[in-house]
């Protein structure tokens, strides 16, 4: 059964190492969101560093998720002191569980405040694609698909929640997908 990969990317207004209260708040909310997301029905896994160190994105060991990568248009720092981005890469049983996790609860509350922390870039902030069971997406996969989404719009190999595709490549809409309680897990 295919699984859904979800890559998110945002450029922060301040570097991750910034000691300001707003950066601390972003971390605190982010940690709570990750805990909740990992308990959501349909969640399978997310890319995590071996050491879990904040700001250690480019230098970290990401295991099967591959070397950390960012879109070509990211123009801020790449050191622990200057990195100003937030990125996630996760794996889901389907589109509906991922959508529900992102658009409800703590994550929804964080999304409502995203412009407190993130710059408006005029570029997509997430991309989805289908994978065969057992395949782990890589950071480079996510970056390539996000860039393709920006350049060409939604397609079966790179799409958004609101312009989505079924695993067979047919267009679909979130409202047409069965509620998470009806999904096969």
Q: List, in order of start, the domains of the chain with CATH numbers.
A: 3-182 (3.30.70.100)
pLDDT by residue (tens digit) across 126-141? 999 999 999 999 999 9
Q: What is the mean pLDDT of the chain?
A: 90
Instruction: Please give the Cα distance from 62 to 131 (Å, whole number).
Output: 19
pLDDT of residue 182: 37
Instruction: Please give the Cα distance from 18 to 24 (Å, whole number).
Output: 8
pLDDT by residue (tens digit) across 87-141? 999 999 999 999 999 999 889 999 999 999 999 999 999 999 999 999 999 999 9
Instruction: Please give the Cα distance from 74 to 90 (Å, whole number).
Output: 21
Q: pTM for this structure?
A: 0.91
From first CA to last CA, the distance across the chain in angstroms is: 10
């Amino acid at each position: 059964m295919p699984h859904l990969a979800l890559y998110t990317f945002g450029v922060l207004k301040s570097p991750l190492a910034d000691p300001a209260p707003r950066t601390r708040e972003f971390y605190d909310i982010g940690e709570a969101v990750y805990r909740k997301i990992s308990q959501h029905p349909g969640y399978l896994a997310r890319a995590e560093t071996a050491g879990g160190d904040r700001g250690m994105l480019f230098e970290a060991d990401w295991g099967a998720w591959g070397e950390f990568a960012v879109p070509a248009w990211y123009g801020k720092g790449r050191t622990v002191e200057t990195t100003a981005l937030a990125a996630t890469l996760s794996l889901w049983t389907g589109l509906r569980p991922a959508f529900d996790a992102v658009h409800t609860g703590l994550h929804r509350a964080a999304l409502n405040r995203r412009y407190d922390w993130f710059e408006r870039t005029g570029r997509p902030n997430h991309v989805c694609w289908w994978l065969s069971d057992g395949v782990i997406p890589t950071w480079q996969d996510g970056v390539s698909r996000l860039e393709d989404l920006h350049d060409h719009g939604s397609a079966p190999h790179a799409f958004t929640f609101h312009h989505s595709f079924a695993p067979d490549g047919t267009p679909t809409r979130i409202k047409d997908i069965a509620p998470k309680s009806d999904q096969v897990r």
